[in-house]
Structure 1
Amino acid sequence: MFEHQSFEAIVERMLERISNDVDKREGAIIYDTGAMTAKELQEMYIALDSIILETFPETASRPNLIRRAAEYGVYPYEATNAILKGVFSKDISIGSRFSLGELDYIAIQRIAPGIYEMQCETTGVIGNTQFGALIPIEYIDGLETANLTELLIPGEDEEPTEDFRIRFFLTRKQIPYGGNRDDYLQKVMSIHGVGGVKPYRAPAGGGTVGITIIDSDFNPPSPALIEEAQTIIDPIVNSGEGLGLAPYGHRVTVSGVETVVIDIYLKLVISNVTPGQLQNEVEEIIDEYFLSLKKEWQNANFLIIRQLQIESRLLDIVGISDVLESTINGQDSNFTLTLNQVPILGVVTLDA
């Protein structure tokens, strides 16, 4: 906004106000005196520009965006801890701590004999990735085996600035009130481990609400996450009683997205490589495409796996010159999923 207020422009305006019978050349006393003031004024205009940018949520940096959003009761999602299933050869005490690689885990709840919820002590998605043998940090008498076997509730990183900015503006457009659609969207998305949600009205008649969720890794939610969300929104034992986030009289059922295994056949033109050398990279690229689709699940009526998208992405792989033919689950066409389905990659067959 003040980019035209340069040092040169300020000095020129100052010198214009001085009589021409005074030496105004660079190096003269009057020039040097004004130049020092002009430099400070230029810094002031730069600071004013920054103040204006920091004033509006469209351009504010993270600290000031958080301050502006807080005026409306909107806050960035904090990093959360992953919750995993630990299987032990004997019962252990709640609070027992274990290590696996560089991460530590603590037992927080008993699920069944020898089975516990283990919370990763490090927040973020890093806690979602490690499984295997646990080592007790303090000796546990009689313990023979200890393993992390399954991710129950994904950990999440702190909400990125631009994601928070988008969500802030979205909340200003939404009108959450008394169990309307926007109310459910905002409340369910705030639950630890939920990455997307679709609410439905009256799936089982008047007063019922359906909620379908996907986890924050954009995979089908675990039974533990579904149970957690159900308890927070509308506990089953007191359904409709308004003891959760759902309003009094709303009987809510939480479910998870369904997966459809997608097999891909590709006939390729390749050079200086073999199909086997390409296999892993091809699967990674298709997996990335499927992930991008799953991230859009909440805002899409249904997902479409497009042949052209797969083929165009594969042409970026060194060694693939062309894609002559492709099928998705045996069909030479795009593949359309239903309302609450997301894809997972099955078998990728490469022919060259």
Structure 2
Amino acid sequence: MIDFSDKNFENLLKTMLGNVPGDVDKREESLINTALGPAGYALEDAYINLEQMQAGAHVQTAVGSDLDACAADMGISRKSATAAVRLGVFNVSVPLGARFSTNEASAVSLVVTAVSPEYQLACEMPGSVGNNYTGDLAAITYVDGLTVAQVTDILIPGENEESDDSLRSRCIDHLNSNPFGGNIASYRESVGAIDGVGGVQIYPTWDGGGTVKLSIVGSDGMPASGELIDTVQTAVDPTQNSGQGYGLAPIGAQVTVTAPTVISINVLATVTVANGYTLEQLTEPIQTAISLYIKTVRDSWAVPITAGATDYASVIYRARVMTAILSVTGVVNVTGLLLNNLDADLQLTETGAEQQLPVLGTVMLN
């Protein structure tokens, strides 16, 4: 890329004045200096525009609409914001299209989009805002006999519009991995682009030739709901295990979509606290610190050990848990740390037969 960093007004004016004969007065406020000034500013502005155009022409440096244009050249588009789909609980039958509102200051409205086998409520405002509230609902649509209206589980997480960093990463992965015709990169790219999917582990020939298992998590990093699994199954292989190639999967592929099993990580430790602190004060911050570390493990759950391969590893390291505890202000030392009653790192199972996803369980501190 061309470096335009030295194309500023001062340097441009100096260059122009250097081309003026030496016997002409070039001092500030001289006639030639004053005459060349506007040209210097105009050239500086032109070089700024050139620098922006150059940055916008490359995936690594483009932002906003320029990045969208670069992605479009690869057949990739930015993921739009999507609405959360939540589970509703009511004491009477509620019709399709009935609307409800959350009981909070920044209330959002939800509409009933399915009534069987369970009530599904779609947030009318796209984005992650639809994932936040759980509890009682206020009825916007009158429903006779309604006394209980609640929103509970997240069926399909709502997602905000894809960020520049995420889109840029997908474009670079597309260039480096060469997705084609049902190879590993093709599954990773096409399944990852489905609304609500936050990550996918891919296991080829997990149950014999032609079989493929896709284990997915939602955009919230937690195991995919049954509804999201059905959505992905329909998109990839709607006539499951037929090998007819009606979905994204190529002819001959028998695809099974599933979700990982949640494994609780229980922590037991003896903590020395600094003067002026109590264990009760530090318990919640310690739990938060450990939970944030475990979240980093979940965030990398779908990332293969070897780039482009299908080997995965999820490990909860004792040292990292200890570091998380020690990062809390007021903690002096940690001893006797056990994870699920073991004095060892926890290696989770990530195979075609079983996939595990860690979450924080109980934290017992002495």
| Aligned partner of 2:108 among 103, 108, 111 | 103
Name the structure 1 match of 2:181.
Answer: 178
SS in 2 for 1:317: coil
Q: Which residue of 1 aligns with 2:51?
A: 49
- Residues 52-98 of structure 1 show CA distances to partners (whole Å, capped at 9, x for unaligned) of 12221111122101111101111111111111111222222211111
Partner of 1:315: 326
Residue among 335, 343, 346 paired with 2:346: 335
Aligned pairs (5 A) from 1:1-352: 1-101=3-103, 102-112=107-117, 115-236=118-239, 239-271=242-274, 272-300=276-304, 301-339=312-350, 340-351=355-366
Query: Which stretch of structure 1 is more off in the superposition, 202-211 or 249-258?
Result: 202-211
**CA deviation digits over 1:285-305, x for unaligned, max 9?**
111111111010111411111
Provide the C-alpha distance between the structure 2 equivalents of 1:155 and 1:250, rounded to a whole number of angstroms.
Answer: 30
What CA distance in whole angstroms lies between the structure 2 residues aligned with 1:17 and 1:187? 58
Shift of 1:127: 0.9
TM-score scaled by length of structure 2? 0.91
CA shift for structure 1 position 237: 6.2
Q: 1:296 & 1:151 partners in 2: Cα distance?
A: 22
Task: Measure, in 2, the Cα distance between the counterparts of 1:336 and 1:165.
Answer: 32
| Alpha-carbon distance between aligned partners in 2 of 1:76 and 1:267, rounded to the nearest angstrom | 48
Contact 2:192 2:200 in 1 (8 A): yes
Q: Do 2:155 and 2:228's aligned partners in 1 also have CA atoms closer than 8 Å?
A: yes
Q: 1 or 2, which has the higher strand percentage? A: 1
Gaps of 5+ in 2: 305-311
- Cα deviation, residue 177, structure 1: 2.4
RMSD over aligned CA atoms reads 1.6
| Pair 177,12 (structure 1): closer, same or farther in 2 beyond 3 Å | closer
Classify the secondary structure of the residue corresponding to 2:42.
helix
Structure 1's 204 and 18: CA in aligned 2 closer, same or farther, altered over 3 A?
Answer: closer
Distance 1:149 1:6, change over 3 A: closer
Query: Cα distance, 1:154 vs. partner?
Result: 0.9
Separation in 1 of the partners of 2:30 and 2:169? Answer: 54
Please state how far the C-alpha of 1:238 moved relative to its aligned partner: 7.3
Q: Which consecutive unaligned segments of at least 5 residues does structure 1 have? A: none
Runs of 4+ aligned structure 1 residues displaced above 4 Å come to none
Structure 1 CA distance, aligned partners of 2:238 and 2:291?
36
Deviation at residue 116 of structure 1 after TM alignment: 1.2
Corresponding residue pairs, total: 349
Deviates more, 1:231-240 or 1:102-111: 231-240
CA spacing shift, 1:99–1:29, aligned 2, 3 Å: same
- 1:165 is displaced (CA, Å) by 0.5
1:247 is matched by which residue type in structure 2? P
Displacement of 1:324 in angstroms is 2.7
Taking the aligned partners of 2:125 and 2:169, their CA distance within structure 1 comes to 27
Q: How far apart, CA to CA, are the structure 1 residues paired with 2:241 and 2:319? A: 49
TM-score by length of 1: 0.94
> Which letter maps to 1:320?
V
The CA deviation at 1:120 is 0.8
Moved more, 96-105 or 220-229: 220-229
